[in-house]
Structure 1
């Protein structure tokens, strides 16, 4: 489900430690589920104890600023989508953009779609987690990388993230999330250009 970028402009609160979390807090989900069961109610086959570490956490405020520029509703160059059902993956159909994803311990998958006309670093994986899943969620990422549909319509995941440095094995939670929605995916390397 797309996150309404028009809501970004006027929200204001001081409950969180950084300004962009304050600005975007009203779009953050208010409930957090546990990975003891997946969204469909059956048990997961992987552990939620393993989190990926943001190797560039000191840059988060600057990255949130860049993401704010990319998500500016006046001249949007990016979009965030919470992936809860197969139709939410329609965001992958834009031919002039790249798609990054994060999956949090709370079971929230967020896809950040960014236009190829701007640098992809304008929408970093931690910024996607903070703005799409909620403040503080960049510290609770279990899977991250790029996602796309190939020319046959198959969903492909790549474990490319300079912040979280995931392995192919770290894509299993994302694959399970997609599988729970009825979407099969591959962990093959996918071209991200």
Structure 2
């Protein structure tokens, strides 16, 4: 898997377990790429939902994707601090300039004080029944939630002090 070069743009596509397209972010600037990670940024980017509705993101965001982790992390820069929205998902894959992953409904929202809430468990339970998630997948996803919480507590990866600010500053240099 090879991601496009830094400073180029990529499209992000989230799918559901049954293969249906869930959500598309039209343009995200790649800030760094390796064989296992992609760090991107966007601001006021167009997002299209599966039902055709569209909306524009409200604030700058730094996106962290890892090819060996079952989650991705969005750090949103708001006036009152950095909020993180973590999608419990399949590891990503790249096809040309499109980053793809499967969204498994569960989300971890992290507040500027680094407290967190697990979201959408009811949606996950509905989709688990409807799309017949295997028991092994359930174990993987809940295990990844615990790993993600551990990263938050340890201030590891995208939760490290200065991580989001560093990549946002880099993003600002690419925009001009």
> TM-score, length-normalised on structure 1?
0.32
More helix by share: 1
More strand by share: 2
> TM-score, length-normalised on structure 2?
0.34
1 or 2 for the larger relative contact order (CA 8 Å, sep ≥6)? 1
